[in-house]
Structure 1
Amino acid sequence: MLEVHTDVAIIGGGPVGLSAANMLGHLGISCALYERNETTSFHPRGHVVNTRTMEILRSIGVAADVDAVSLPLERHAGIGFVTSLAGDQIGVIETRGNPEWARIERSQSPVFKRSCPQDVLEPVLREHAEAYDSVRTNFGHRITELEQDETGVTLSWETTSGDAGRTHAKYVIAADGPRSFSRDRVGIGMEGRSIGQQIGIYFHADLWDLVETRPYLLYWIYNATTSGVLISLDGRTRWTYNFGYSENESRDDFTADRCLKILRAVIGDPAIPIEIKNVMPWRMQARIADTMTSGRVFLAGDAAHPLPPTGGQGMNTGVADVQNLTWKLNLVLRDVAPASLLDSYNIERRPVAKFNVQQSARNAVAMVKKGLSGMLANESALLANLEGPEGAANRAKLAEGIPEQRAHFDYPGQTFGYQYESDLITPDGTPEPEFSVTEYRPTARPGHRAPHLTLGDNPDTSLLDLFDIRHFTLLAGPDAEGWSDTASTAAEALGLPLKAFRIGKEVEADVETWCQLYGVSTDGAVLIRPDGHVAWRSSSAGNARDLRDALAHAVSRSDVTASA
């Protein structure tokens, strides 16, 4: 029996597990990933890679390759509501293309939200992960047992070819999906509910003549035969169609012939050839784990919080999970932070995940209330009479509810505006800003994501590029004498990696804009955690001891040397 020793074992080779492997590789931490399937996903499944996730991927050198395989931005202009692709248009929610919206989007981040289907995203993440010497991926390996004690976790596994072995890890990241073996094995319960059962059909069909002038990411379909969402994977030939079915039906009822009939109704043109590649039943859930941590095992992604896809938050919430966790694991494994630092993972991430679960469920319910059921089973008599001239009044009735669904599809406040609250964050006494799902108000208040600011005149650059999960970052105003030395001295005493920059000096950025954006004067300073969230802020020249204490608190330490 093969025996493997590693710092971190990752269970699950989907986007969250592979992202964790990339982050650990970036940190130089040894890790072994185990995925029961022999290859990455062959079904597109999820596709939304939100802007914050793209920022995280950019910070570890992966974003450019994700951009290259994503749906082209020009085919990502909005959300269409139609009776079929060849039928009547009910309404549209524009998400890109409006000049003012484009300006706002560009002011928030150096990257864009992308649509990158899982079957093309996962190979990119896997290739990058396997390029690290410290990362070992093991596909076709099923975990059969998990046992932990005070020193580590032992995983037993078997391969599809019949081999078996054990892996001894100091910590485990369990990203093994909504039916998580790991979660069950460590005895973590779940709260929430199942919302409905769905079918996802992945198919190929050249639909260019029907979509060329309507470059939408999603087409919500409403007719007498079916209602659901058609997702554009490449803007022309690759598609998935997801729809709900009632409790008195079985997934076995959806034969190839029935699925083909449904797709004919979705397209609305019987002459177009269709090739069904895969049919995948699935269940929409809105659940969250009672805790995301048990000893040395940390739940991430769907293992901790299976979300409804209404809002595209699932994978993105999971990537933020592992970003929050991996920098902390790095400091604990390098013996510069106590193991108690890891307690903050559940404290910080679970509230964010819970909100995302609840908001995604609210999005689904909001659609139903307006007759726009989408992926939930729809028994409405309204759908039986939507098409053609005689259906105009019913289409107009559905159209009335479409503008109210913007939070489902356009949610910069939810993407950037969440905050962490824990003992790692040093409050500065400023009031919590008003939160909105659909509007992002940049703030450098402690606990929040540090805002983006372009460097110089190049729109592709960003202040965010100074941040890295390998180190803390101090940003100070041009008149801030001594902050950099104080931070560097405290970091050295604590054994923490830190980089310090003065805006307008070492960093070419507009000083006035930075001061306004970050809420400080020209002699103020802000301490940024490795995950890009603000740990501490001083609006003006202040007490150096406050900075030293804040840095110690940011890693669960209270060393005398750091506070002296």
Structure 2
Amino acid sequence: MTPSFRDTAADVIVAGVGPTGLALACGLAAAGARVRVLDRADGPATTSRANILHARGAEVLARLDALGDLPDRAVAPIGIRMHVRGRHLTTMTFAPDERETVQALFVSQAAVEQQLRDRLTELGVEIKWGHGVESLAQDADGVTVRVTGGAQVRASWLVGCDGAHSRVRELAGIGFPGVPVVERFLLADVHADGLAGREHSAGWYHRDGILMAMPMPDATGNLWRLMANVDDDGRHLPGDEIVRAFTKLLPVRAEITGARIHDAVWTSVFRIHRRLADDYRRGRVLLAGDAAHIHSPFGGQGMNTGIGDAENLAWKLALVVRGEAGVELLDTYTAERRPVATEVLQRTTTNTRALVAEGRLARLLRDHVLVRILNLPAVQRQATRAASQLGVSYRRGPLGGRGRAPRPGDRVPDRAVRLSDGTPSTLTRELGPDWVLLTGRTDARLTAAVRDALPGQVRTVTDPQHTGGDALLVRPDGHLLWRGTDPGRLADLWPDRSKTRRSGASSAPSGGH
């Protein structure tokens, strides 16, 4: 029986319950917004599309109180052994920043989604399965959405987190231009023996293309993800033919003759495209995750970029629906997150083309130059840091600022802190959906000024190791909004705060330093 919508009013409709939609819904619900969560599918996906949660994604889940036991169930990513003509050339090793409290987790996307669904249930939000967005109509006050089955849902805002083929994006009329990067890839999650040691992933370069094997967490201890680019002959390939293709590719590209594939858990054929939405907002409709940007899966950036979109949007949209910020604040979402996606698209496209190496000269450069450069420790540290997305900064955005680091817009790394009563905690634990004022010692005058200047809840913490005199006012998503010592300067952050209290109207904050 199709669930009915007894209460059709909502602040926000979230369409799509992949990691992006779930993280967004969790962030909104935690901030007190009324959320309706819809998905076209009949139930949760059980296959693992992405298989790595980079450090930034893990940090966001921790702020959402949705990380749970994922670190205990995950495998630490070590690196990938690269081969040419079956000969091992180098090992690209993950080199995490030991100063950070979060690291990448080699874990199934299905497990990440389950953890987020559990958190959403704790927050009292139900997912409406089998309810895809079929049409929408905007007006000055909100959006009316007709879903599968004919029911209508009304909300102030609609966010499309419904993937690369987003129906929400199409209905909103937002362009999604792009270009193909690689014509066709085969993918299969298989139980197999005799492939390689499971302490690393493996990649084999061949003049016909690339073959990759990644060990997947599984009770059997022999689950692998295989990927390979192949010529596109236009034929539809069923799962058994994909498995047969890998059986033939292993001895050719990897020179492995003793491997045995037992069965396939999941198979897929996909084309790698690079696409970026023209805008992330059209009126009262917004986009996040794959609905806004798609790129090569190499480097595992898709799930993490989408989760980053979700956190950035959640705290801003929550303030808007509570009447504590004007709609202009939502313009900072596109301004901050679209450049991040642009950089991810450029980096993953470059890396994919370098790895696939179409053409004899490109293969020579890859096999004899690139793999040796990737063996350098400094290059591995830089690559790991870039993949982690811990270095993402919004300092050049509308909420950014100048001055010494950290500047407004920069991420503030997690650290041990103490609450006003002396209870030990961490910065990550105190953030989201609240702001945090971080000082070296308690300053009652500054604390009162901050609470008077900002909407929402402000938590005050101290860190005896924090030196330099300036207090740090940290946004709910872990980025710096303001630093300083003069409470009088805080009025510039939310200039119409007093007006907001009287009438419910407000305007977006301005960056400061």
User: TM over 0.5: same fold?
Assistant: yes
What is residue 139 of structure 1 aligned with on the other side?
129
> Which residue is equivalent to 2:98?
106
How many Å separate the matches in 2 of 1:157 and 1:93? 47
Answer yes or no: is the 8 Å Cα contact 1:227–1:243 preserved in 2: yes
> Match for residue 115 of structure 2?
124
The two structures, once aligned, show a CA RMSD in angstroms of 3.3
Q: Aligned equivalents of 1:548 and 1:489: distance in 2?
A: 9
CA deviations on 1:382-414 (whole Å, 9 max, x unpaired) are 99xx9xxxxxxx976774354377489513486
In structure 2, distance between residues paired with 1:123 and 1:311: 23
Name the residue aligned to 1:233. 216
Q: Which amino acid aligns with 2:24?
A: A
Q: Which residue of 1 aligns with 2:230?
A: 245
1:486 is matched with which residue? 449
Is residue 11–residue 33 contact of structure 2 (8 Å, CA) maintained in 1?
Answer: yes
* Structure 1 equivalent of residue 249 of structure 2: 262
Aligned partners of 1:41 and 1:118 also within 8 Å:
no
Q: C-alpha separation between the residues in 2 aligned to 1:422 and 1:173?
A: 25
CA displacement, residues 24-56 of structure 1 (integer Å, 9 cap, x when unaligned): 232232212222222222332112211111111
Distance 2:196 2:476 in 1: 46
Distance 2:387 2:37 in 1: 33
How far is 1:242 from its partner?
1.6
Do the aligned partners of 1:232 and 1:238 also contact (CA within 8 Å) in 2?
yes
Over the matched positions of the two proteins, sequence identity in percent amounts to 25
Contact 2:325 2:506 in 1 (8 A): yes
- Gapped regions of structure 2 (runs ≥ 5): 419-423, 509-513
Answer whether contact 1:43 1:202 (CA < 8 A) is retained: no
Aligned with residue 12 of structure 1, among 11, 16, 19: 16
Aligned to 1:141, the other structure's residue is in SS state: coil
* Structure 2 CA distance for aligned equivalents of residues 43 and 175 of structure 1: 19
Q: Secondary structure at the match of 1:331?
A: helix
For residues 479 and 143 of structure 1, the distance between their equivalents in structure 2, rounded to whole angstroms, comes to 50
Corresponding residue of 1:530:
476
* Within-5 A mapping of 1:315-330: 315-330=303-318
CA shift at 1:479, angstroms? 7.7
**Contact persistence 1:201–1:276 (CA under 8 A):** no
Gaps of 5+ in 1: 387-393, 431-442, 505-509, 516-520, 560-564
Which residue of 2 is the match for residue 473 of structure 1? 436
Distance 1:529 1:278 in 2: 40
* Alpha-carbon separation, structure 1, partners of 2:207 and 2:345: 31
Higher mean alpha-carbon deviation, 284-293 vs 190-199, is at: 190-199
Instruction: Pick from 453, 456, 465 the counterpart of residue 496 of structure 1.
Output: 456
The CA distance in 2 between the partners of 1:264 and 1:240, in whole Å, is 17
Quick one: distance in 2 between partners of 1:277 and 1:360? 27
How far apart, CA to CA, are the structure 2 residues paired with 1:411 and 1:21?
28
CA deviations on 1:236-258 (whole Å, 9 max, x unpaired) are: 32221122223445443955433
CA distance 1:525–1:285, shift in 2 (3 Å): same
TM-score normalised per structure 2 = 0.84
Q: State the alpha-carbon separation in 1 of the partners of residues 236 and 271 from structure 2.
A: 11
> 2:408 maps to what in 1?
446
What is the CA deviation profile of residues 456-496 of structure 1, one whole-angstrom value per residue up to 9, with x for unaligned ones?
9xxxx8742354222222112338573223223334xxx43
Render the CA deviation track for 1:137-191: whole Å, top value 9, x for unaligned: 0222222112211111111111xxxx43111111111011111111111111123
- Please list, as runs of the form range in 1=range in 2, the aligned pairs for 1:354-369 lying within 5 A after superposition: 354-368=342-356
Q: CA deviation at 1:339?
A: 2.1
> What's the CA shift for 1:80?
0.9
* CA apart distance, 1:273: 4.2
Distance 2:83 2:167 in 1: 41
What is the aligned partner in structure 2 of residue 220 from structure 1? 203
- Paired position in structure 2 for 1:440: none
Equivalent residues in 2 for 1:305-454, closer than 5 Å = 305-368=293-356, 373=357, 399-400=371-372, 402-403=374-375, 406=380, 409-412=383-386, 415-421=389-395, 425=399, 427-430=401-404, 443-454=405-416
Structure-2 residue corresponding to 1:437: none
Secondary structure of residue in 2 paired with 1:239:
strand
Q: 1:33 aligns with which of 14, 28, 37?
A: 37
